[in-house]
Amino acid sequence: MKNLKNKIRSGAVLGAFGVAWVMAVLAGVSGLNRYQMTPGVASAAGNWPAPGNWPGANQLSLAPDRDTLIMFVHPQCPCTDASMEELARAMAICADRMVATVVFYRPINQSDDWSKTSLWKSARQIPGVTTLIDPGGALAQRFDAQTSGQVFLYQSDGRLIFQGGITGSRGHAGDNAGLDAVITLLTAKATDHPSPPASTPVFGCPILPGHRTAACAAIRSATTQP
């Protein structure tokens, strides 16, 4: 009888541990899902006093005969792998309709090699895409690009027609409203472009230092699981 009670007690303890473990796993998965679906800080470019005007920059220029796409990237943001995949898709469809540049943040006290991560290599492999290093994030600040993966699409006259991200969540490529909007705008007549510019959430890490979170490592782990 005593042995039976001990077995029952042991079973209850193991059951309680099992329930606690399952709840912890579910809480972790739920937290990761919330993080994946939480966008970064959006640009206020479309809300400037003269909304949508090309801000001008010596290192960047508007294409005179087609649209200009600029993507701002933190080179160590794992969420931006998916944004690079979507940019490759856009270029495969609309390379003859736009000029694309990917701008990579670099801290002032680092060499250019700091920015030349796998993301840099991915961008360089996309036909028609130009890469540019942004020391200290000066260009990112000029364009008000705060989140890695932020895309701006301008007409040749400097009018902003799209701003936002081209993924549907952090670290996940696939059909999404941002990429659809970019492709639609690139293939539409200029007179059909919206005012104010089309906008979608940006899913990525902050570009400037001091704001990245440890959850980025969890995104990297989750998106590289077999």
Q: In the predicted model, is pLDDT for residue 148 greater than 60? A: yes
Q: How much of the chain, in percent, has pLDDT values that exceed 70? A: 69
Residues 158, 161, 166, CA angle at the centre, nearest 5°?
A: 125
- Find the mean pLDDT for residues 168-189: 87
In a domain, 32, yes or no: no
Q: In the predicted model, is pLDDT for residue 29 greater than 60? A: no
- Find the mean pLDDT for residues 205-222: 58
Range of the domain at 135: 45-223
User: Which residues are CB-contacts of 16 (< 8 A; sequence separation ≥ 6)?
Assistant: none
DSSP 22-42: HHHHHHHHHHHHHHHT---PP
Check residue 7 and give its pLDDT.
55
> pLDDT band at residue 24, thresholds of 50, 70 and 90?
very low
Check residue 42 and give its pLDDT.
73
For the entire predicted model, the pTM comes to 0.76
Q: How many domains does the chain have?
A: 1
In a domain, 122, yes or no: yes
Q: Check which CATH number belongs to the domain holding 95 and give it.
A: 3.40.30.10
Q: In the predicted model, is pLDDT for residue 17 greater than 60? A: no
Which of residues 218 and 74 earns the better pLDDT score? Answer: 74
173 and 179 Cβ atoms separated by less than 8 Å: no
In a domain, 71, yes or no: yes
In a domain, 6, yes or no: no
In a domain, 85, yes or no: yes
pLDDT, one tens digit per residue, over 89-120 is 999 999 999 999 999 999 999 999 999 999 99
pLDDT, one tens digit per residue, over 38-86 is 667 777 765 544 445 788 778 899 999 999 999 999 999 999 999 999 9
SS (H, E, C) 97-123: HEEEEEEEEECCCCCHHHHCCHHHHHH
d(CA 181, CA 167): 11
120 and 104 Cβ atoms separated by less than 8 Å: yes
